[in-house]
Each structure stands twice: as C-alpha cells, then as structure tokens.
A and B are shown apart, each in its own frame.
Chain A
C-alpha cells in the first residue's frame, strides 16, 4: 500500500525522536532519502503541521499483566464524596490511622456551558463531574486513590485522565482511555505531598482540545501530619477555596461573533485553529466570567484562615488577592518545600496547581485576580471574597474622606 505523499522516512525520524535519539533519527531519515533518490524539499513541509507524538501508550497494559499484585493488606477503604468547586470534600488535615484506599467516582459530562452572559459566548465543555474545573480530590501521602472513571453512552468522545500526582503510565492516562458507554478503575499511590493538576489527555491535538474545554482539576496530597511552616510549626486552615483558572479559545465567525455549535466535538476543527493563536478569548475562574462573584462570591470572616488552591492546567498565571496577601504560599504546589511568606502575588506555572494561605484581617470585598490585569478585567479572571467582621483602624483608616482640595 502506498500513499501519494510518502512520509515513511519521516515516521522513522519521529519514532527515534520519541526515544530521544535525535541523531539516530536524522541519520535514518537521511539514509532513507539517499536510497530513494528523491528530492528532499517536499517532505520538509510535512513535518510542520504533523501532530505532536504524544500518544496512547498501548504497551502499558502488557507490561502491567506480568507485574506483581500490589500488597493492600492493612489498608482500610473509605469513600470520598466529591463536591463542586470552589468547595472541598470533607477531609482531615492531619491524618488519623494508617494509610487508606480512598475511593472516588467521576462521571464525565459533555455539556453546553455559557462562558460569558454578556456576549452569549458558549462552549460544549468537557467536564469531570459536570464542573469546570473538575472536583478537588484530597488524600494524604501514603494513601491510595482508587478512581472509577465513567464515560456515559450519552457522551460523544473518548476520554481519560492524567494525574500529575501519580507515577507511571502517563500519569494513568495510558490506562484510563474510556469510550462512551465504558468505565475504568485506576488505583495509584499518593507519594508526593502537594497540590497537583489532573487533566484529560486522549492523544495528539485532542489533549489541548480537552484541556481547554474544561477537563482539568486539582488533586491535593497533604503530608500525614498536616501543613507546616518553614520551622515545622503546624499550619491549619478553616476552609479551602478551590479556584480553577480556565483559558478558552472560542472560535469566531467572519463578523467576529462567537460561534455556537450543535453538539460536543463539532467545534473541533475551528478550536484547533483558535488554539494555534495561543491567545485565549477568555480566561475565567470556575468555568465562566463572574462565576466567583455576586451569588458565587466566596464568603469568609475576619480571623478565618483560608487555603486558596489555584489550578491552571495549560497556561501561566499570577494570582493576587487585592487588599490581602499570601501569608504562606506554596507557589509550585509542593508541600515538601517550606512555604514562602508574606507574598503580594504568586506565580502558578501552566500545568500545575499552587496553594496560598491567608488569614483575613479586615472586612469588605476582596478581588482575587490574575494580576495580568488585562486578563482579570477583560478576559474574566476575577473572583470575589466577601469578608464579614469588624474594621481595624489600626491597620487602615480613611483619615480624610475625598473633599475639594484647599477647602
């Protein structure tokens, strides 16, 4: 069987690049070219638009079948009921008892979501449990997470999940591909303390497509003895606020209006073009413009300590709490490192989660933003904390209300 456009030599090249031996690949490609005595130029064009070689690892399953079974003696099983963001599931900050097997279930839902009510921009979102971001999962170091991932027959697409908190098989991505109507169960050990991104990664251009359609979230792995400051003193929080920042690349029509589609997946070709610009049309907290404002604003009290978890699976961001600080910040998300203290703004690398702890000292409305303020004000990356309590004039006071100069 032959193709009109022969890419055989390039395939050799690509495979070798995957193995990391670029030189061998180049040599193979050159040898192939010489033997065929054909011009090189036409083939060079092919390389550019070729999808990235990030694909399903089919070999994972085979290598697993001969492996020793995991020793699960002594592990108690507990179910964790996942809840919608910005809330966190019930959990202990300091673990009691031995490591456990934590059972969680996620149902994948493809659903039409309004991104911005003002413009009517919408997206057929791809979601874990119906929310953008997906639910927060919490475990302690040494625990197992046992996930049942369900892809109902009502969905159109293939999905899977890659946990940055896990080890092997593309973060579980290689073992969790589910077609509509299928479910799978994955168990992995939480070995590293921290907050970690998880996301869908079905292969090739489908990876960014799914991630920028909402399919990502955070897995938090607490140290068994809880969070600590740099001197080892325990740090506890009163509540968790879980923020997922989502960059959307929504296709527009020839008039610049956002396009709408009949079903999930219909926007695939347009979305790939929009993603190639690398310029998001929206960057929002928890699925939509304004989702964490008004009715959705986060409520807190003066004296309350809040752990703010911020996930961005795809793109760099820089959370800032206007009028407050990060008392303790795990910018990279690793609880294995001492937290930084007293930060104004912290940096979350695309493809990671970070955490910042703050004890509110003044009442009022705080804006929590991506401090690229263009993204905060124009693309949607703003949320609100509404804090109740007594004003402290010792910290700030309006000495003179605005008045005419010189009066």
Chain B
C-alpha cells in the first residue's frame, strides 16, 4: 500500500514537472542540403528541465552524450541505434551530443541548457574527429547570439 502511494506520488510529481517544461524535437538525418550525417537543428538552447526528443528520420543513427562534454553532475545518456529517445536536461550547462556510428563523420550537436554564455575552456580539449571538432566550433558560436 505504502509502495503504491509512493509510486503514485512520484509519478504525479514527474508528470507535473514535465507538463510545464517543453519538448524540442531534433532530427537525425543522412543528409541535409550539402551536409551529410547531421542532427537538425545541430544547436539548441533550452531551459533547465526541458526535454529533447531525438528522432531517427533515417535509420542507423543514435544520440548519446560525450564523456567530458557535459556539466559536472549531469548523467550520461545513450540512445539505441534507429530508436527514438527522449532526454530531459536537468542541469545547466553545455552538452556535446554524438551519433556513435557517425561520430567520425562529424555527426554531433550542441545543447545549451539554461543561462550559459560560453562553453567551458576545455569543452573541445578531448580527442575529437576533425570534422566533429569543426562542427562543434561552428555550433558554439551560437551561444552568444
């Protein structure tokens, strides 16, 4: 009995919170214009508690967090290949997101959560494929816009 009540309470709290937050859709595509293997959009600015729904419009993609490209305390996430995944961002900061099979082909995106004006200095310090790094650099210029 107690357990049921706790679960119900927990669910209500979660759902209540989610209802007020927004859900933004990001497409995972093989091609967009001249660019191949992309998240679209590849830069989003959201509020703390908002959710991103990653949609594999083309097969073979996933969305997952990149180690050391997320704020401290944030939990890593990993969507399955060709499957939709929703991720709620509860901690303010800048996040790098990759598609695992197409990371080397530069399939990455940046998520800015909350009121952040700049990425940490070491955001691009890890080992990145050249194409991914270039796209991250372009994405990060959106932070101050």
A residues apposed to B, CB below 8 Å: 1-5, 7, 37-38, 49-51, 153, 156-158, 179-182, 204-206, 263, 265-266, 268-270, 272
- Is chain A's interface secondary structure helix, strand, loop, or mixed overall? loop
Number of cross-chain contacts by CB at 8 Å? 72
| B80 partner residues in chain A, CB cutoff 8 A | 49-50
User: A205–B81 contact, CB under 8 A?
Assistant: yes
Cβ 8 A contact of A4, one of B37, B85, B89, B104: B85
Residue in A3, A49, A205, A270 whose beta carbon sits within 8 Å of that of B77 in the complex: A3
List chain B positions with a Cβ less than 8 A from chain A.
3, 6-7, 30, 36-37, 51, 58-60, 74-75, 77-78, 80-82, 85-91, 100-105, 127-131
Known contacts A1-B75, A156-B105, A204-B100: does B87 contact A270 (CB below 8 Å)?
A: no
Q: Which residues of chain B come closer than 8 Å to A266, judged between CB atoms?
A: 30
Given A49-B80, A266-B30; A1-B100 close (CB under 8 Å): no
Closest Cβ neighbor of B83 among chain A residues: A49
> Using Cβ atoms and an 8 Å threshold, which residues of chain A touch B60?
268-270, 272
- Residues on A with C-beta less than 8 A from B58 are 269
* Contact A1:B81 (CB < 8 A) given known A38-B7, A180-B129: no
How far apart are the CA atoms of A1 and B129 in the complex, in Å? 26
Q: B85 to chain A: which residues have CB within 8 Å?
A: 3-5
Contacts of A272 in B (CB 8 A): 60, 81
List 7 A–B pairs whose Cβ atoms lie within 8 Å, in order of A's numbering: A1-B87, A1-B89, A3-B77, A180-B131, A181-B130, A205-B81, A269-B81
In the complex, chain B residues whose CB is within 8 Å of the CB of A1:
74-75, 77, 87-91
How far apart are A22's CB and chain B's nearest CB, in angstroms?
22
Q: Which of B81, B82, B104, B127 contacts A156 (CB 8 A)?
A: B104
- Chain B residues near A158 (CB, 8 Å)? 103-104, 129
Say whether B130 contacts A179, CB under 8 Å.
Answer: yes
A157 touches B105 (CB 8 A): yes
User: Smallest CB-CB separation from B130: which chain A residue?
Assistant: A181
- Write the chain A residue with the least CB distance to B76: A1
Asked whether B88 lies within 8 Å of A2 as measured between CB atoms, the reply is yes
CA of A85 to CA of B105, assembled, Å: 30
Q: Which residues of A contact B59 (CB under 8 A)?
A: 269-270
B46 to chain A, nearest CB (A): 12
Closest residue on chain A to residue B105 by CB atoms: A156
Closest Cβ–Cβ distance, residue A184 to chain B (whole Å): 11
Q: How far, in angstroms, from A128 to B82 measured CA to CA in the complex?
A: 29
Q: Give CA–CA (A270, B59) in the complex, Å.
A: 8
